[in-house]
Structure 1
Amino acid sequence: MKTENNKYAKAEMLIRKPVSEVFQAFINPEITRKFWFTKGSGKLEENQKTEWTWEMYGFSLSVTTLVLQENKKIVIEWGNPDETTLVEWTFTPLNENETFVSITNSGFHGDSDKIIDQVRNSTEGFTLVLAGAKAYLEHQLQLNLVLDRFPKGLA
């Protein structure tokens, strides 16, 4: 049996756009708000805090950017102050018009049930984010996937 840390969530997607466009979509809130959160206090910058807001849920959080490598990698720390996790995006250009994006969320805390719940929710959430980014960047479609994940009356 292989022993490795399996306490992480992962979502990946091919986006048929140049790596520079895809990278900008995740650091520039004017683009990101088209498929993920509704407001960002500014572009992601290394060693800086940024506020992200999901107005439809009345929820905001602080994000600290730990690594920002242009067109290659973003690493942030986010979450409740006593339970932060790391999120890492890697951007792999496959050619001049295709980018493979991988998002890994790690560092979950709690008992096994809590960790399983966090991994499942994070995997679902980042899969929707990538699908929304793909639809927006490739076809200028705003699918409202994050908004519709928890419709009013069911949340």
Structure 2
Amino acid sequence: MNATYVPIAEAQMLIKKPVSEVFNAFIDPEITKNFWFTNASGSLEVGTTITWEWEMYKVKTDVFVFDIKPNQLIALTWGTPATYLDFEFEAVSEQTTYVQIKNYGFTEVGNELIEVIKNNTGGFTTVLDGLKAYLEHGINLNLIHDKFLKK
């Protein structure tokens, strides 16, 4: 066996909405603001660098969009050092979409790598929980806003 192990932080969720609506929720920052970040410098488009902001934590990050396949994939890099972030969309039926978020390309090793994967998996699970509540029920649960205690 000569396979190379690539550590991945991964989260997934079934969303009871059409794939085009779920896909657009990540492309259009006016929708994304209801379940993830507080501000974005623009919509996701191939070849662009966008800044995402979480005002309550005074945190910003630049994302570079390198691939979009409508209703299937959004692929970008983000953070410092940059890691890969893929959003994969699968139409299970006309009214349901399976979303997977995969984050990989980490530079950390050992316990630091375990901590990063644990934190990112939990964070992306929270994003998908918020997405589900917002798209299916029109409720902004403020999950990201309330995830960490602000001191």
TM-score by length of 2: 0.96
| Structure 2 residue aligned with 1:121 | 119
CA contact (8 A) 2:46 2:65 kept: yes
Measured in 2, the distance between the counterparts of 1:108 and 1:39 equals 25
Alpha-carbon spacing, 1:96–1:114, altered in 2? closer, same or farther (3 Å): same
Unaligned 5+ segments in structure 2 are: none
CA contact (8 A) 2:40 2:53 kept: yes
Alpha-carbon spacing, 1:17–1:2, altered in 2? closer, same or farther (3 Å): farther
| Structure 2 residue aligned with 1:64 | 64
| Structure 2 residue aligned with 1:34 | 34
1:21-44 deviation digits (Å, cap 9, x = unpaired)? 000000110000000000011100
SS of residue matched to 2:61: strand
1:82-104 deviation digits (Å, cap 9, x = unpaired)? x1100001100011100000010
Find out whether 1:98 has 2:108 as its counterpart: no
Find out whether 1:46 has 2:46 as its counterpart: yes
Match of 2:140 among 139, 142, 145: 142
TM-score by length of 1: 0.93
SS of residue matched to 1:13: strand
| Structure 2 residue aligned with 1:133 | 131
| Structure 2 residue aligned with 1:76 | 76
Shift of 1:152: 2.0
SS of residue matched to 1:5: coil
Residues paired across the two proteins, number: 151
Shift of 1:151: 2.1
SS of residue matched to 1:17: coil
Instruction: Show structure 1 runs of 4+ deviating over 2 A.
Output: 1-4
